[in-house]
């Protein structure tokens, strides 16, 4: 039944360029009964802001079939695990990937909240793993190579993407087919990487782990401490002038990747605020991501 549903959505997506799908077929794991209070608020100065996500979804953006490369990217917008920037760091990026023949899937992951989750610390990771599972299990229908599925994240969404890339050896969701939940590559844009002082982003940590997390939880979700030789290749972009998420987040993750002999790239700009609202220009930093993807064979 789900396969028929996805086929129908696929046909619609070709005609409408995009289609938003429920992430789970049935009950959402790790959820408590609660009213759906999700809302979008357009903000001309920043983005479209999405609050209180409790029903996760995946919006499919497919390139024209004659341009499709087979590569896919699951996009995790940022927002400090408090809100999602679903346009600038979601649909806008997805359409740019489509121009390159890359399929894109924008993930509206659940925002950590004790009212709607049994364990809020794993809710976003469950949704990222489910997104990877859904895309990989339906790769043929979407014209995707199941061995070319990456994940991209911005700020706290970068933390989520890096978490998916370092915690894939444990299934946090039902996975009866034992589908690989490991992304094939990561694109991390001014990402939160660490939950530890002094470089961790306090707001993201408090929203994800609570105000007084144990040291074990801090270390578990400090992704620079979770890198191994099996961690997927990654490209990181950050600004040395970032006053919100210190550049040491990207540096520490790159150093861990390098130490584990994982293919990685890192570009640090001397100027540019968090989110790159004014600098560097979109074509500059996105072009470096595209170059790295081509360099890796994607």
Banded pLDDT at 47 (limits 50, 70, 90): low
How many Å is the Cα radius of gyration of the chain?
18
In a domain, residue 203? The reply is: yes
The answer on pLDDT for 58 being more than 50 is: yes
Confidence (pLDDT) at 117? 96
Confidence (pLDDT) at 49? 87
In a domain, residue 186? The reply is: yes
In a domain, residue 225? The reply is: yes
Q: What is the pLDDT of residues 90-129, one digit of tens each?
A: 999 999 999 999 999 999 999 999 999 999 999 999 999 9
The answer on pLDDT for 209 being more than 50 is: yes
* Lowest-pLDDT choice from 4-13, 135-144, 239-248: 4-13
| Number of independent structural domains in the chain | 1
Tokens of 61: 């953006």
Confidence (pLDDT) at 183? 98
Residue 77 β-bridge partners: none
- Strand 57-61 with 103-108, pairing: antiparallel
pTM confidence score:
0.93
The answer on pLDDT for 15 being more than 60 is: no
Closest listed residue to residue 153, CA positions, set 238, 243, 231:
238
Residue 236: domain span: 35-295
Residues in the chain: 298
Confidence (pLDDT) at 7? 45
Q: What is the pLDDT of residues 262-281, one digit of tens each?
A: 999 999 999 999 999 899 99
Looking up residue 51, the CATH number of its domain turns out to be 3.40.50.1820
The answer on pLDDT for 12 being more than 70 is: no
In a domain, residue 5? The reply is: no
The rounded percent of the chain whose pLDDT value lies above 70 is: 93
| Torsion-angle region of 26 (φ positive above 0: left; ψ -120 to 50: alpha; else: beta) | left
Taking a C-beta distance cutoff of 8 angstroms, is the pair 79, 155 a contact? Answer: yes
Alpha helices in 33-172 (DSSP H): 92-99, 123-137, 139-142, 156-166
Return d(Cα 15, Cα 73) in angstroms, integer: 21
In a domain, residue 291? The reply is: yes
The answer on pLDDT for 13 being more than 60 is: no
Q: Which residue has the tokens 């199941």?
A: 146
Confidence (pLDDT) at 59? 97
Alpha helices in the chain (DSSP H): 2-16, 92-99, 123-137, 139-142, 156-166, 202-209, 215-220, 248-259, 282-295
In a domain, residue 48? The reply is: yes
Confidence (pLDDT) at 18? 80
Closest listed residue to residue 53, CA positions, set 1, 101, 3, 108:
108
Query: What is the mean predicted confidence (pLDDT) over 133-157?
Result: 98
Task: Tell me the pLDDT of the chain averaged across its residues.
Answer: 92
Confidence (pLDDT) at 100? 97
In a domain, residue 17? The reply is: no
Return d(Cα 222, Cα 276) in angstroms, integer: 24
Confidence (pLDDT) at 288? 97
In the DSSP assignment, the letter for residue 14 is: H
Banded pLDDT at 17 (limits 50, 70, 90): low
In a domain, residue 134? The reply is: yes
The answer on pLDDT for 3 being more than 60 is: no
Tokens of 292: 């790295």
Task: Please tell me whether residue 232 adopts helix, strand or coil conformation.
Answer: coil
Q: What is the pLDDT of residues 26-37, one digit of tens each?
A: 999 999 998 888
Tokens of 184: 């094939």
Task: Please tell me whether residue 91 adopts helix, strand or coil conformation.
Answer: helix
């Amino acid at each position: 039944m789900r396969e028929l549903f996805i086929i129908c959505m696929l046909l619609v997506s070709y005609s409408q360029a995009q289609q938003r799908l429920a992430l789970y077929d049935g009950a959402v794991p790790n959820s408590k009964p609660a009213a759906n209070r999700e809302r979008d608020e357009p903000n001309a100065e920043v983005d479209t802001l999405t609050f209180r996500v409790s029903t996760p979804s995946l919006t499919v953006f497919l390139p024209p079939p004659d341009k499709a490369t087979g590569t896919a990217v699951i996009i995790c917008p940022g927002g400090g695990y408090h809100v999602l920037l679903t346009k600038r760091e979601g649909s806008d990026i997805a359409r740019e990937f489509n121009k390159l023949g890359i399929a894109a899937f924008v993930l509206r992951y659940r925002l950590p909240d004790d009212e709607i989750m049994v364990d809020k610390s794993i809710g976003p990771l469950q949704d990222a793993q489910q997104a990877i599972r859904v895309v990989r299990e339906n790769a043929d229908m979407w014209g995707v190579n199941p061995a070319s599925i990456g994940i991209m994240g911005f700020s706290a969404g970068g933390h989520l993407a890096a978490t998916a890339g370092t915690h894939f050896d444990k299934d946090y969701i039902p996975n009866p087919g034992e589908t690989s939940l490991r992304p094939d590559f990561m694109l991390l844009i001014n990402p939160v990487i660490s939950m530890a002082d002094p470089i961790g982003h306090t707001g993201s940590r408090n929203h994800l782990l609570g105000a007084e997390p144990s040291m074990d939880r801090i270390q578990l979700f400090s992704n620079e401490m979770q890198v191994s030789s099996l961690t997927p290749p990654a490209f990181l972009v950050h600004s040395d002038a970032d006053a919100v998420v210190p550049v040491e987040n990207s540096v520490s993750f790159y150093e861990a990747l390098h130490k584990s002999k994982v293919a990685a790239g890192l570009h640090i700009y001397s100027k540019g605020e968090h989110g790159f609202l004014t600098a560097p220009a979109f074509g500059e930093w996105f072009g470096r991501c595209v170059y790295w993807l081509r360099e890796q064979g994607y």
